[in-house]
Structure 1
Amino acid sequence: MENLPKSVQIVLRRLEEDGQEAWCVGGCVRDSLLGRTPEDWDVTTSALPEQIMELFGAQARPTGLQHGTVSVTLEGETVEVTTFRVDGTYHDHRRPDQVTFTRSLEEDLHRRDFTINAMALNLRGELRDPFCGQSDLAAGVLRCVGEPERRFEEDALRILRGMRFASVLGLRVEEATAMGIHRCAPLLAQIAPERIAKELMGLLVGARADAVLREYPDVIGVFWPEILPMVGFDQRNRHHCYDVWEHTLHALSYTPPDPVVRCVMLLHDIGKPKTFTLDAEGHGHFRGHPLVSRDLSEEMLRRLKCSNAFCQTVTRLVEWHDRGICQDERTLRRALYSLGEQDLRRLLVIKRADNLAQSPAFRQRQAELDWAEKELARLLDEQACMSLRDLAVNGKDLTDMGLRGPEIGAMLETLLERVVDGELPNDSAVLLDTARQLRAYALARKDQVLGGK
């Protein structure tokens, strides 16, 4: 195979020269057939782990001998090499209690999750496909190997893996497999939150994330039950033609595959069911829902043990998603000052998608967002002062003026805010003069207070 990395070719060739079978297996075969570049290359072989270790010597290290896995590093790349095996029972719905090594490639492929991952390819391009994974791939179908519920009971994370494959690869989940996903979803409660988070974020950035989420809210609800009240929740509001869940999915479909943006879109209205009220005319309102959504989002992301940086970014954008920032230059400059360029750009994408998912008669905000994007580009092109490092004065200038300690930081922030608001030019002479006036005023007030005592 011409597209095989050199390290993989060497591994396959050495194993074959030693009289062993050796095949590329799983996702790398699937991606190669799709014309995608595989992220990892896995090799399966008839050789036992100790034979692999002896054959590759110092280039091999044991990384999972109990499951037959040895990592081989060649040409600066690491290839996972695993002995043909049959899995035993699974008591934790994640990993087999024991494995049995076998001389049969077909038996090894039979233990795998989906037909599209149960294909093997050797050095000469020969494909072994006992479960018709290639035809399923061509038809855009995701199907379990064997009985779906057995596959999911063995490893419950396969439920989310299947949903991720459907989202990223644009696959339709075969009926029996879909039923197995719904029936076995509660098993996800036993899976480590970090693993759930990784699969969920992979699902969210897929091209069909909205369709997959629409089909499986019950699955997401196992670890994020806060999602479920949104499903079918009538907004009773003229600005909205969809219920809360459908609005969320439509909004998500209008966003690029940025995990931060997609996660914000999924969670931005999570607080609406808790804040719903009806006025005298029977119109629905959700006053304060951005703050409630922010708090719920933080709790949900922490539950999945997402990083602090990811949590902070997502929750801040959830809080900001409904703020008016496009009225004039001052409000936009304020938003740029508070969020920074990257997150302000994300916020504009979020607001655009949120608006596109409303009733057609209320999508006029697109023009406001067009203006905001152009204005942001102008501000950045002009290198507008938006941070302390851009300010024309610094701490030393204020120290020379007589300010000390916390006074310096507070004064710099005050000056920066006035520059951002357009009240002052970013000119050192003007800023220092303003600082003198503010300090003199503060000292005078302090004297008055002391004198009054």
Structure 2
Amino acid sequence: MLPQPVEYVLERLENAGFAAFAVGGCVRDTLLGRVPGDWDVTTAARPEQVLALFDGCAIPTGLKHGTVTVRAEGMGIEVTTFRADGTYTDHRRPDAVTFSRRLEDDLSRRDLTVNAMAMDRRGQITDLFGGREDLKAGVLRCVGDPERRFREDALRILRTLRFAAVLGFAIEPRTAAALHETAPLLKYIAPERILSEMDRALCGGHILPVLLDYPDVLAVFLPEIAPCVGFDQCNRHHIYDVWGHSAHAAAAIAPEPVLRWTMLLHDVGKPACFTRDEQGVGHFYGHPAVSAELAEGACRRLRMDSRSAERIVTLVRWHDRDIPRTDRAIARAVGKLGEDVFRQLLAVKRADNAAQSPDDRHRLADIQQAEDILDGLLARQQCFSLRDLAVKGGDMAALGLRGREIGDMLRALLDAVLDGAPNERGSLLALAREKMS
């Protein structure tokens, strides 16, 4: 059940007289039949003893908290001394830790029962809090008092939601109630850590119920979504309120962070743009631009990398744009966005449509037609941008153009190609001379 490097570390610790166990997520995943992404070991050995025992292949990565990383056969294994945590005044890390000789002390400080199991090198499981039973039942339950667990370390709030989204487990009632109660403590968590947990949660295969059941938790760091919750769209095209639509749309798109963030934020501007016509039908004129502005603020607040943020904002701004299904219109859109972004836009439109009324599913045919046109243009090697143009700046300079005149002429020639003119050097030079005359 254990990889050879992990068994080696456990055996060497045991032979030196120290109790040692694989612990936490690696045990959980092993019992679920999954391949763990990494392996953690907990031991009675003190950090300095671990360093001495694995001299030459151990790195003191977290001595304050008792952690040493041992390199074995190319694998990095975190080895941490049994410990009991002190008080948590910053709602993130203990002010101090006390090293222990007892495995029970170490397991009792962990967040969820399914993460509080240990396994020795023979495969024997130590489960003091019913983790195996909860694993079999598909339940997430805190070790001890859930409110205390979340107040100690508020990141556990998002970790719990992430496990629910990834594993598809139900959150037991007391733990769920504590999530809602302690959600405001997320303001103590660094934006980068929030983003990391959210990226993984959003890409979980069971994200929909998490989004629907815990918008108040997410709104602590995404206040843009709060007005969307329960906001009736008053429109026959929609069977969900704004938040319900966004949640279903996020779950309907491929599990990639940029795409899921796009769907989560694509309609956050709707409440601010809501109007009713004389028949009482709701409309949201201008909401893509407002949503894009709000999405940009959210991405900045979460310290998202600039490339991802720019892509999300672009997709939000374009998500509701009606692009005619013609060669010219598709070519112009691809020229502005690029092929990759345009294909993502089509995915966004599909997910948006999937979260609307079933009566509107006919729009999927329009989206497919747009993709078919794109494929045809690519097959014919259509020119979409200045980079693809058969003439360059040097050609324009040879005609006598200077400075801004060169860029202006190249853009005019690109427009002509997008309108159907052949992308051939001789034809474009002739057209340029004609425009100059």
TM normalised by structure 2 equals 0.97
> Which portions of structure 1, spanning 4 or more consecutive aligned residues, are displaced by more than 6 angstroms?
none
How far did 1:146 drift?
0.7
Return the offset for 1:373. 2.0
Q: Deviations over 1:252-300 (max 9, x none)?
A: 2221111111111111110000011112222211110000000001011
Which residues of 2 match residues 49-448 of structure 1 at below 5 A?
49-422=47-420, 424-438=421-435, 440-441=436-437
2:19: which partner in 1? 21
Cα deviation digits, residues 309-363 of structure 1 (max 9, x gap)? 1110000000000001243222211221111122111111111111122222222
Partner SS for 1:63: strand
Percent identity among equivalent residues? 57
2:410, 2:21 → 1: CA distance? Answer: 64
Quick one: distance in 2 between partners of 1:84 and 1:95?
Answer: 16
**Letter of the structure 1 residue corresponding to residue 238 of structure 2:** H
Moved more, 238-247 or 51-60: 238-247
Cα deviation for residue 26 of structure 1 reads 1.0
The TM-score, its normalising length taken from structure 1, stands at 0.93
User: CA shift at 1:302, angstroms?
Assistant: 0.7
Give 1:110 shift: 0.8
Counterparts of 1:253 and 1:59, CA distance in 2: 43
Return the alpha-carbon distance in structure 2 between the equivalents of residues 149 and 395 of structure 1: 65
- Say which SS state the counterpart of residue 69 (structure 2) adopts: strand
1:144 CA displacement: 0.5
CA offsets 1:36-72 (integer angstroms, 9 cap, x no match): 2222111111110000111111211211111000111
| CA deviation map 1:12-53 (0-9, x unaligned) | 222122111121111111112222222211111111000011
Contact preservation (8 Å) 1:229, 1:273: yes
3-state secondary structure, aligned to 1:32: helix
Moved more, 396-405 or 155-164: 396-405
CA distance in 1, matches of 2:192, 2:198: 10
SS at match of 1:40: coil
CA distances 1:218-262 after superposition (whole Å, capped 9, x unpaired): 001111112111111111122222211111122222211111111
Distance 1:124 1:383, change over 3 A: farther
Counterpart of 2:351, as a letter, is A
Higher mean Cα deviation, 358-367 or 158-167? 358-367
Partner of 1:444: none
- Equivalents in 2 of 1:13, 1:398: separation in Å? 73
Instruction: Give the Cα separation in 1 of the matches to 2:288 and 2:387.
Output: 31
Shift of residue 206, structure 1, vs aligned partner: 0.8
Q: 1:428 to 1:112 in 2, by over 3 A?
A: same
RMSD over aligned CA atoms reads: 1.4
The 1-side partners of 2:124 and 2:427 are apart by 76
Residue 165 of structure 1: CA displacement? 0.4
Indicate conservation of the 8 Å contact 1:326/1:368, yes or no. no
1:115 shift after superposition = 0.8
CA distance in structure 1 between the aligned counterparts of 2:35 and 2:406, rounded to whole angstroms: 54
Instruction: Give unmatched runs, 5+ long, in structure 1.
Output: 442-453
Checking the alignment, whether the CA contact within 8 Å between 1:269 and 1:289 is kept in structure 2 is: yes
Cα offset for 1:402? Answer: 2.5
